[in-house]
Structure 1
Amino acid sequence: MAVTWSAPVRYSECDDQRVVFNANYLVWADEASNAWWPSVGLTWDPDGVAGVQPLVKAAVLEWSSSAVWGDVVDVVCDLEKLGRTSLTLRFEVRVGDRLCCVVRSTYVATTDGVAVPWPDRVRAAVA
């Protein structure tokens, strides 16, 4: 189930040319992921999600165009892949119809820092 998180580009997110600094795309992906988990019926609390701690294993960004100060970004988040111990969320960062960036973040389910299979409750919610 795709969910969209939106926000205006703030001046503090930009460089001197008013172009969004690249690290902010990861911040926006995190914001969108915080909306995605509840959209599939899972809450993220101090104990993690369904008894496991999802940790980011990898994040890949691919830019197509720049967001700039004054734009409103829409970040569409959806599940791209579900593995045994990992899942990958895909984030499309858009300004209107224009694609700015695609972020893929892979999360690993962990307990005490060790990778574990996703609980059945998580698998059922995201499948």
Structure 2
Amino acid sequence: MPVTWSSPVRFVECDQQGVVFNAHYLVWADEASTAWWASIGLPWEEIAPRVDPVVKASALEWSSSARWGDTVEVDAQAERLGRTSVTVRFTVRVGERVCCVVRNTYVGTAGGAATPWPDDVRERLESALSAG
């Protein structure tokens, strides 16, 4: 089940034509990620000190523009789980219209190196993946 984060599009997030500048889709995915981690029982302030998840890769696929005055909703949902990573899909939409899909792959780290997810974290990530 996806977790949804939403926000009105602010003027500062747009170019001169009133269209959202592309980097803001990553910011919105980051905002939604905090809600997603918490929704699976791993609030950021608890997971980060244990196995600091960092973004290893991001991919964005646009299909239409969000504009100033719109309200964007970002649905976050686990898509793939690896030994040290998890990929989360963030679907950015205005109403039912999909604007962009962001896929972030997070890698659990310790001391700056990839590390396998602890068993209890893996269990929560597996549950999130199967609920999707």
Are 1:40 and 2:55 matched, yes or no?
A: no
In 2, Cα distance between equivalents of 1:126 and 1:52:
13
Are 1:3 and 2:9 matched, yes or no?
A: no
How large is the RMSD of aligned CA atoms in angstroms?
1.2
SS of structure 2 residue aligned to 1:93: strand
* CA deviation after TM superposition for structure 1 residue 98, in Å: 0.3
In 2, Cα distance between equivalents of 1:58 and 1:98:
25
TM-score (norm 2): 0.92
In 2, Cα distance between equivalents of 1:60 and 1:47:
24
In 2, Cα distance between equivalents of 1:116 and 1:126:
15
Change in CA separation of 1:47 and 1:36 when aligned onto 2, cut-off 3 Å: closer
Which runs of structure 1 show a deviation greater than 3 angstroms over 4 or more consecutive aligned residues?
A: none
Map residues 78-117 of structure 1 onto 2, 5 A cutoff: 78-117=77-116
In 2, Cα distance between equivalents of 1:10 and 1:48:
29
Unaligned stretches of 5+ residues in structure 2? 127-132
Change in CA separation of 1:122 and 1:47 when aligned onto 2, cut-off 3 Å: closer
- The AA in structure 1 aligned to 2:20 is V
Aligned residues: 126
TM-score (norm 1): 0.96
* CA deviation after TM superposition for structure 1 residue 46, in Å: 7.4
* CA deviation after TM superposition for structure 1 residue 20, in Å: 0.1
Unaligned stretches of 5+ residues in structure 1? none
Map of 2:20 onto structure 1: 20
In 1, Cα distance between equivalents of 2:2 and 2:47:
25
